[in-house]
Structure 1
Amino acid sequence: MPETTLADLAHEVRSKNAGPFWVTMELFMRDAEGYRIAADESFLNERVIAELYRVERSTVQLFRIPALNVVKISFPRPVSQGSLRDRDIHAGQHHVPLARLRIPGRAGSSTVS
C-alpha cells in the first residue's frame, strides 16, 4: 500500500511568487489531524525544506496558523523573477516536492505519484 503524502492530507498545496525574490508555499490541510501532522516540527521544519529545495536553512521561514489549519513556507527564489535563468516566473510549480513529501508510518491511498 503506498505511503500517505502531504497532498493526501491537504485540501490544497500551492506555491506562488512573493515578489521578485521570494517563493511562498501554502498547505491548506483538510482537518485538525492533517494540520497536526503538517505543523509537527519534527516532521516539517527548516532543515527539511532546505534539503527539498536546495536553499540555505537559515533563509527558510515557516508560519504555522492553527486557527486556519494552514502551514505557510517562504524562502528566497534561486534566481530573481523574470531573470534569464528563471524557469517558473510565477513559482507555480514549486509546491510539487512539498506535496509529494511522504508521511512516515502512514499508509494510505496516495493521489500523488
Structure 2
Amino acid sequence: MAKVRDVCHHVRSKNAGPFWVTFDLFFDGAENYRKYHNSPALSPALFERLYGTDPALVKTIPVEDLAMVKISYPRATPQGGMEERDMHSGQQYVRLLEVELD
C-alpha cells in the first residue's frame, strides 16, 4: 500500500485562522491525485483518531486543477492559548505521512 509520503510531493499543515488547522496534500501528479484524493484512509475518522477532533466538523476540499486536497478541522483550543504546543500548526502534518492509502 502507498503511504501519503509516497504519493505526495508536498504535505503541509498550517493555521486557517485562530480556530482551525488545515492540511494541504499536493499529489505528485494527476494519476495519483485521481487514485488517492478521496481515499477512505483520509476520512474524518482518521482526524478524529490522530487529532481528537469531531469527525462531523472535518472539511475536505479537493482541488483537481492543482492535484491537491485540503482538509481542515477545528482546533481543540484557540491559537496561542495556554495549552498551545504548535502555535502555527506547522508540525501537525507529520502524523499524516505514514497513513496508508487504499
TM-score, normalization by structure 1: 0.81
| Compared CA separation, residues 41 and 7, structure 1 to 2 (3 A) | closer
Greater C-alpha Rg: 1
Q: Secondary structure at the match of 1:103?
A: coil
- Number of residue pairs aligned between Structure 1 and Structure 2: 102
Distance 2:28 2:42 in 1: 17
Matched AA of 2:99: L
Give the structure 1 partner of residue 101 of structure 2: 103
Structure 1: gaps (5+ residues) = 105-113
TM-score, normalization by structure 2: 0.89
Calculate the aligned-residue CA RMSD, in Å.
1.5
- Greater helix proportion: 2
Give the structure 2 partner of residue 63 of structure 1: 61
- Greater strand proportion: 1
**Percent of matched pairs sharing the same residue:** 39
Distance 2:34 2:52 in 1: 25
Give the structure 1 partner of residue 5 of structure 2: 7
Q: Could you report, residue by residue, the CA deviation over 1:82-112 in whole angstroms, capped at 9, with x for unpaired residues? A: 11100000000110111221234xxxxxxxx
1:87 aligns with 2:95: no
